[in-house]
Structure 1
């Protein structure tokens, strides 16, 4: 019967190969013990990786929803800050206009009119506010300004009231310009006239920014401030007519408070909806991560035991290699 033997060189290579395999397993078990995750998911689950892949997909989807909702929440929060700033401007101008005495002087009227013009310009600038390059109050037309420049708006209004010789005529002309599709709707408002800024929240609902620069609350506020500015800028108005226009401007400014507050309240409800959706998505993401961890986590006790066993194997492999390296012909003679 033939006897198969292994030469010294072959034994050396076999020993080295076993040592490499043991080292690889040692490194893998060390990583699993430190990370708490199995290195080979397919091996740990006996090839049943479909559920893990599904969980990874759902976690990635939840992450994208959370990120998108964070961006949407930032947009709506900025819009709320802008509306609050506009309300502050409205309140300050209202107080200034309504404090004008009945028999005001020209200097007093011009001072209030200048304040009204400055407020008008500031409100237009507020409504053209952008976040990350996106316009807030232009509906879905986020790529452009919501309103034309303040000078353009006031010049159009001056042209519209050019023939007015009294307060009633000027008020009618301003009303007509703000209501006329060929006036404010085409030359003043530059955003999307139909669609509001709408963002899906990932839970089957969406958040809508209904505060748009052409909404009645903001249009009425712009009209009120513009009237105050025109009271001193219209050459055809006398002192009494200018006083009447300023008083009417003050009334409109005061009456704009409630619609603006309602717009802020509506926006606040949308912010709450975004926050709730974000919390729901974050909770779902946490639950999915727990399920994923249960499937891919390494048992610390079993891993530590296996690691200890592999360390012993590696020591024995080193001892065997050292013994083989000391063998020589003289030791067998």
Structure 2
């Protein structure tokens, strides 16, 4: 059967009708807001390539946390920019490090706000890589060592959990990182702390503004030996399979906009929650066009968020979270 018996426009005749038959919706409960905490005092500094996103010193952070909770946002993703860096990123697992101290303060100000701690070394190493670097004399190149890096990532995750982090989000893309961190958390008595794994993280050009924000650009080479080739899809399944087997509680796809096909693949294959990371350049491009008046920023953002939900995302990490929360509140 077809037209004129079937008329699909019947279900589009009014806003009320469209609301009734809408298949996907974005809610406050979907949103995770990234926050950058830095050293020093009196710092609230806008990140030039990310209008509306700031570096906060801890003494300036409370007002931001109060705003986030007042908007109804229930979760944040915490990144730290330390005062000192070294070859092993020791400030990442310092009990008094920037992320650990910020976490403790946030849990005092807003005990019910979920703190998701990014667990990586790149912001904390002087070379900007996500693990331990060893110079290979035979090949005349610097290699990122996998297993030695796992030891430091476990120490980082445990120190973050000890500080009060509700979720550990490892973003390093070392082989076996979920298993190592799960084992480390369990042995330290944090069996209840879930792991939001950056399961499918591509070596993407969409991270540029973040590297300015986190002061984490590699000082040599690139991250292509551990982050995924953007051309590969089947490999994403292998990465996610490994994380599921190792005990991941949530699976992330990063970036989101150019990889919604990957999100759908994971959604169709796994029952675990899927996380979309709407990354820095995705934010900056829309913000820049919106500020120029070239696009309707709100319409573009909300359409994109619905696209993530339609592709299978259960939650969305986005720098637009505060804007979206305000729009949803009307």
TM range (shorter): under 0.3
Q: Which has the higher contact order (CA 8 A, sep 6+)?
A: 1
Richer in helix (by share): 1
Normalised to the residue count of structure 1, the TM-score between the two structures is 0.22
Higher-Rg member (1/2)? 1
